[in-house]
Amino acid sequence: MPFCLTVTPLPWRAARWAVLALCAAQAAQAQPVAPPGKSLLAPSPGDAKRFHATLEATRFRALLDSDWEWRMQQSPEFATSVGDHRYDDRLTDASPEAVARRQEHERTQLKALRRVDADVLTGEDRISYDFALQDAQLAVDWQRFPAMDTRVLSAKDGVQLDLPAMMADFPVRTELDARHALARLRAMPARIAQDIAWLREGKRLGWVTFRASLAQVPAQIDALLARPLTDTPLLDPFRRLPDAIPADRRTALQDEAANALQTQVAPAFAELRKVVVDELLPASPDDGAMSAYPDGAEVYKLFVRDQTTLALDPKAVHEIGVAEMARIHVQVAAVMKAAGFGGSQAEFAEQLAHDPKFLYPGADELLAGYRDLAKRIDPELTKLFQTLPRAPYGIRAIPVYEGADAAETYSAGAADDSTPGWFNANVVALAQRPKWDMTVLFLHEAVPGHHLQAARAHELVQLPMFRRTSDLNAYAEGWALYAEDLGDDLGLYAEPAARYGWLRAQAWRAARLVVDTGIHALGWTRAQAIATMVDSADVPRDAAEAEVDRDYVWPAQALGYKLGELQILKLRQAARDTLGERFDLRAFNQELIDHGALPLPVLERVMTAWIARTRGTPAPAEAR
């Protein structure tokens, strides 16, 4: 600062301010004057980069939000299931015009994602980007095969199953909810007519569901329509009307719903049945392999990428399955030896399957058995996880009309916890549900399987909604199969019969790799596939037939189980090897589920980064 000199005596306070003013003026004269419009503060090189990164992250999140809003509008049933009730009064528009609009949106979304500078995204934003880009690319790739839009009906999916299931889980808390349920009921005839149009288009293109599966659909429709009004799932919301609705209005709503079912919905289902019997079954092929359809080989490759999130050659997947079955058979032999059984594996399986002590006499007893399992397993979950979800789950019977072949499933609760999750148990085929098979089923479908993972994902409010509600096949089913393995960590397979149940389930999933690729890519016959399930996985013949028919109508879906589980087990072994005594199973499992369902390549990067952080070393660049 320049030297300051006062020349005129002043009172001390005035003199002080005069000195300060003079010094400030002299200091200002001594400083360089900034050119007009220029800041004295020169921006650092990092400022622009940080601003750009923030802008890209904001733009990317807005892109995800707008896409989510579009998904809710386009898929009202899905919106309801996740707790968004703005569109409860409508069903998905499946018209060709609506499908074309959705495809245009998918192409636009992919272009928008490619314009995002992904290199500046970090943390969960980068994970979301990698997931969203893969999802968007897959959606556009499917547009190369328009015949896939016609695959709307089989014994495993279709309006005859989806619409009743949707109504059975429809939330009714107010009279407005009941009105919305009534609107959906009345919308069913138009929705069924749209599917009939797609089925006829599929016939024109040579894509009719294969006979063994399609032949079961008329009986499913018959069983649905034969149920009395007091028991049909199509009217389930109107049996749950809240007492807050006056009695006369409850009666009026019930009468309106019954009338709509009898005069509109039932005739629409009857028309669907007629089309299946008169038009589709005569054209239905005996061979449902993808290779038997136009462009089927290429379609199957895309199904494999869709269902596994991996670009795998079907023959390589087949060989993985063969190796897994051989490994598991060695373990089954050890169980037989421990049990003191000297016969063959098939004889051991036959003995366990028909031993009366392992069978429940009735449906109520079977459901009670699952509830007892829940009471045993729930308190043990703290040994496997650091944080457990709050959302409850229940245990209920699968509707009888779905048939004896219906497999146990999980129905997720809403993302806002307004509805619970459900473990759906088959109580019809009691002879196919031995007690030693129940533990792995429960671990898979309920906890720590689908319910625990899905409920935890719903609670991850820092994630975008598409990740909180994702049920990506390879991750979701891979996790559920890994959840069966966690039963061993809890000591649930100490008894030989229970351990055999776990290993048989493992062999079953390994056989799926062999059978699915066999029928769709390697020229296997249905009989050959069924024989492999029976001989290699100890699956009863009727269950093996249902399994193979499922593989025909859900190509590559069965691959996700084993491939997902093997990826998780590979990551766990890598964590054990790297961390040694610092490995914590609870922390590892928590990290696996605390990002929602992810494509397997993305999951590997996430877990590799976690291993590096836990070890205290920088993560590899590709894992950050």
SS3 track for 262-299 = HHHHHHHHHHHHHHHHHHHHHHCCCCCCHHHCCCHHHH
Query: 410 with 450: CB under 8 angstroms?
Result: yes
pLDDT interval class at 48 (50, 70, 90): confident
- Which two structure tokens, joined as six digits, stand for 101? 């609009």
Q: Tell me what pLDDT residue 419 has.
A: 86
In percent, the amount of the chain with pLDDT more than 70 equals 92
CA 559 to chain CA centroid, nearest Å: 14
Q: Is 398 helix (H, G, I), strand (E, B) or coil?
A: coil
Q: Which two tokens stand for residue 68?
A: 């989510």
| Rounded Cα–Cα distance for residues 440 and 500 (Å) | 10
The rounded distance, in Å, linking the Cα atoms of 405 and 539 is 13
The distance in angstroms from the start CA to the end CA of the chain is 50
CA gap 320, 580 in Å, rounded: 28
Q: How far is CA 252 from the centre of its chain?
A: 38
Dist. CA 268–CA 273, nearest whole Å: 9
For the chain, how big is the Rg over CA atoms in Å? Answer: 30
Query: Running DSSP on this structure, what letter comes out for residue 407?
Result: P
User: What's the pTM?
Assistant: 0.89
Q: Say which residues have a Cβ less than 8 Å from residue 126's Cβ, sequence separation at least 6.
A: 118, 624
Residues 6 or more apart from 595 whose CB is under 8 A from it?
A: 124, 127, 460, 463, 467, 603, 606
What pLDDT, in 10s, does the model give residues 538-580? 999 998 999 999 999 999 999 999 999 999 999 999 999 999 9
Question: Of 39-48, 89-98, 330-339, 376-385, where does mean pLDDT reach its minimum?
Answer: 39-48
Q: How far, in Å, CA of 347 to CA of 350, rounded? A: 5
Note the pLDDT of residue 341: 95
The predicted pLDDT at position 400 comes to 82
Distance (Å, whole) CA 257 – CA 154: 27
Q: What is the mean pLDDT of residues 572-601?
A: 98
pLDDT of residue 4: 40
Reduced to 3 states (helix: H, G, I; strand: E, B; else coil), residue 471 is coil
Local confidence band at 621 (pLDDT 50, 70, 90 cut-offs): low
